[in-house]
């Protein structure tokens, strides 16, 4: 039985992750909450789920929550005018909180701002990137660089959804997975539903994906 802690469990992506992972009999779900009141915001599922209140700014609070976890899904969506290093700092606190005697895998929900485009540009620098989410786009690009250039004692996965990320989209039960590349412009025209992205997270956990992957809807072609 894998013990999976979902940080940001009541958020938009986190809620879909909880729903998806509740289908796995080999997973014991733990929902990371900001307060006890957030229990009411968890999605209704037909599976047992543990809850734990976590202060993500406090390493000791994270360490207490992560002690018995095999996998951590980082689905927290930092809001507002965050610093460009905010996600790196959160990632570092999670690393510090890991139990050194336990093999723990970190799966992080990425952001389209981190996509690599032509002319050594990132999507957050593109004129079409939404200005209201610019701080988070920059932070995701910095986090991706940090992950790709660092060495860790644990395994990690960073999954990037396309710019068109649809909360109301149907769960088709399929998706396309693309490996990291120096030019990812092709991905700007892709889309995916939250439900199918959550499916990819479930597979990343069960199949122990490692590294950066781009996740988009599976396209159908007429012959």
Conformational region of residue 96, where left means phi above 0, alpha means psi within -120 to 50, and beta covers everything else: alpha
- Residue 179 CA to residue 202 CA, distance in Å, equals 17
Give the residue numbers spanning the domain of 163: 2-216
Pairing between strand 176-179 and 211-216?
antiparallel
Report the domain count for the chain.
1
Residue 223 is predicted with a pLDDT of 52
Q: Is residue 80 part of a domain?
A: yes
Give the Å distances, CA to CA, from 82 to 62, 74, 141.
Answer: 20, 17, 13
Q: Is residue 15 part of a domain?
A: yes
pLDDT digits (tens, 9 = 90+) for 114-144: 999 998 999 999 999 999 999 999 999 999 9
- Written as six digits, the tokens of 125 are 């620098």
Conformational region of residue 147, where left means phi above 0, alpha means psi within -120 to 50, and beta covers everything else: alpha
48-57, 77-86, 171-180: least confidently modelled range: 77-86
pLDDT average, residue stretch 34-62? 94
Q: pLDDT-based confidence at 79, cuts 50/70/90?
A: confident
Domain harbouring 61, CATH code: 3.40.50.720
pLDDT at 40 over 80: yes
Instruction: Name the DSSP letter for residue 214.
Output: E
What element of type H or E holds 60?
helix 59-66
pLDDT at 220 over 70: no
Q: Is residue 159 part of a domain?
A: yes
Return the percentage of the chain with pLDDT > 70, whole number: 98
Q: Is residue 223 part of a domain?
A: no
Q: Is residue 183 part of a domain?
A: yes
Q: Is residue 221 part of a domain?
A: no
Considering only CA atoms, which of 88, 99, 72 is closest in space to residue 156?
Answer: 72
- Residue 158 CA to residue 147 CA, distance in Å, equals 8
């Amino acid at each position: 039985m894998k013990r999976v802690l979902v940080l940001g469990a009541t958020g938009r992506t986190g809620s879909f992750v909880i729903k998806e992972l509740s289908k796995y009999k080999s997973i014991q779900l733990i929902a990371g909450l900001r307060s006890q009141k957030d229990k009411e915001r968890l999605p209704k599922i037909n599976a047992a789920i543990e809850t734990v209140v976590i202060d993500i700014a406090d390493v000791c609070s994270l360490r207490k929550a992560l002690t018995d976890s095999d996998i951590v899904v980082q689905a927290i969506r930092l809001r507002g005018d965050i610093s460009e290093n905010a996600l790196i700092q959160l990632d570092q606190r999670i690393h510090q909180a890991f139990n050194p005697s336990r093999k723990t895998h970190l799966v992080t929900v990425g952001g389209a701002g981190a996509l690599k485009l032509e002319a050594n540009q990132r999507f957050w620098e593109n004129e079409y990137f939404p200005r209201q989410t610019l701080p988070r786009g920059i932070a995701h690009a910095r986090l991706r660089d940090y992950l790709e250039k660092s060495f860790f004692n644990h395994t990690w996965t960073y999954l990037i959804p396309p710019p068109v990320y649809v909360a109301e989209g149907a769960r088709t039960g399929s998706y396309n997975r693309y490996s990291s590349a120096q030019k990812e412009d092709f991905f700007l025209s892709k889309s995916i539903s939250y439900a199918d992205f959550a499916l990819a997270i479930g597979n990343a956990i069960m199949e122990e994906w490692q590294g950066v992957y781009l996740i988009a809807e599976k396209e159908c072609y007429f012959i």
